[in-house]
Structure formats: C-alpha cells, structure tokens
Amino acid sequence: MTEQETQEELLSRFELVEMMLKEGRRSTEYWGWTFVLWGAAYLIAIAWSYWWRQPNLAWPVTMITAAVLTTVVAARKKRAKPQTPVSRAIRGIWTAVGVAIFIFCFAVGLSGHAEMHSYIATIEILLGVANCAVSMVLRWRGQFFIALLWWISAVATCYVGSQWITPILVADTLIGLLGFGLYLMYRERRDRRLRVQHG
C-alpha cells in the first residue's frame, strides 16, 4: 500500500467517526404529539368544567388521563430510539415541571384555598419555565417565544377580571400547546421525509 493510499484510508476512518457521531446525535426524539395531547386535554377539561356534569372531576380526570397516555406512549417510543444527553435533559425538564404542576394543583385544589388568579398564573409561570429551559437546551428561539407567551399571560392573569381568566387560558392553550404542537409535528414530519430522501 502506498503512502497516499494509507493516508486516504486513515482519512476515511476519520470521516467515518465524524459521520457516526453526527448520526448518533441526530437521534432526536419527536415530542410534538405531547403538546397536541396536552392542548387537547386542557381544552376538554375547560369545556367539561363549563358545560358537562360533575365539573369538579373535569381537571383531575383529564389531567390524569393525559399523564397516563403520555407515560405509556413515551415509554413505547423510548424503546425505538436511544437517548442522548440532550433528550435526557428535555425529558427531565418536562418531568420535573409536570410533577410540580400536579403536586401544586392537587395540594391547592384539595386544601380549598385556591384563588383563581394566582392559581392559573402559577401554572402559566411553570409552563413558561419548562419552555424557556428547553429553548435554552435546544438553543431555539421559537420555543423561547412560547415561554414568553406563558409568562405574559401569567402577568395578565394577575391583573384581569375573573371573566377573562378562562379566555386567556384558552388562547394560551390554542397557541402555546395545540398550535405549537402541530407546528412541531409538521417540522418533525418534514425532518423524517428529508432523512428518507438523503438515506
């Protein structure tokens, strides 16, 4: 083997390492569906609490159902793709914030000390925290705007009259959960199609 051939061989090894590292890191998990699921759950809970029987059960039932669905589907998806440090960080942020919201809602709900303005504003603040942290992990400005939306809504919720709390929450849900989730799913679909095209 000539010196040039040896060098080409070594260079191909180096390129292989770079390509495989990139390929491994590209194993992003797709999370758009969770935003859509939780957006739908929020809207169902709001509608149920206004227009259906047993309004006290609306939020606990829909939230627990959504949490169970998220856990089961995420566990199935986790099998197919390995986790990267980034995906673990994102999973950690949402799990921590999700658990915090659950504890807060149940504690305040059961204690009977809920004041609607601060109750909803706290949930909006926490959702803003999760979106902001994830946007920093992903270095993605788009998700940071969603965090800002939740935080602005939280401030607005503290100041508006009671009749405006639900419309603000519905608007947030439509934009920050349902709309954002659908946009993510569109991007993920496009990403998958591109990967198939480029082999």
Partner 1 sequence: MADLPELDPVIHGKLRLAILSLLSSVDDAEFTWLRDKTGATDGNLGAHLSKLEEAGYVGVEKKFILRKPVTLYRMTDSGRTALAGYVRALRTLLGTALK
- The footprint of partner 1 (CB under 8 A) covers 7, 10-11, 13-14, 16-17, 19-21, 23-25, 27, 75-76, 78-85, 88
Q: Smallest gap, in angstroms, from Cβ of residue 68 to partner 1?
A: 14
Query: Among residues 24 and 167, whose Cβ is nearest to partner 1?
Result: 24
Task: Give the C-alpha separation, 160 to 169, whole Å.
Answer: 12
Residues 6 or more apart whose CB falls under 8 angstroms from that of 166 comprise 46, 50
Query: Among residues 78 and 193, whose Cβ is nearest to partner 1?
Result: 78
Cα-based distances in Å from 68 to 38, 46, 73, 105, 190: 11, 19, 9, 17, 28
Q: Smallest gap, in angstroms, from Cβ of residue 27 to partner 1?
A: 6
Q: What number of other Cβ atoms are within 10 A of residue 162's Cβ?
A: 8
CB-CB contact of 120 with 165 (8 Å): yes
Query: Among residues 75 and 163, whose Cβ is nearest to partner 1?
Result: 75
Q: Smallest gap, in angstroms, from Cβ of residue 22 to partner 1?
A: 8
Residue whose pair of structure tokens reads 């859509």 in the numeric block = 36
Query: Among residues 1 and 75, whose Cβ is nearest to partner 1?
Result: 75
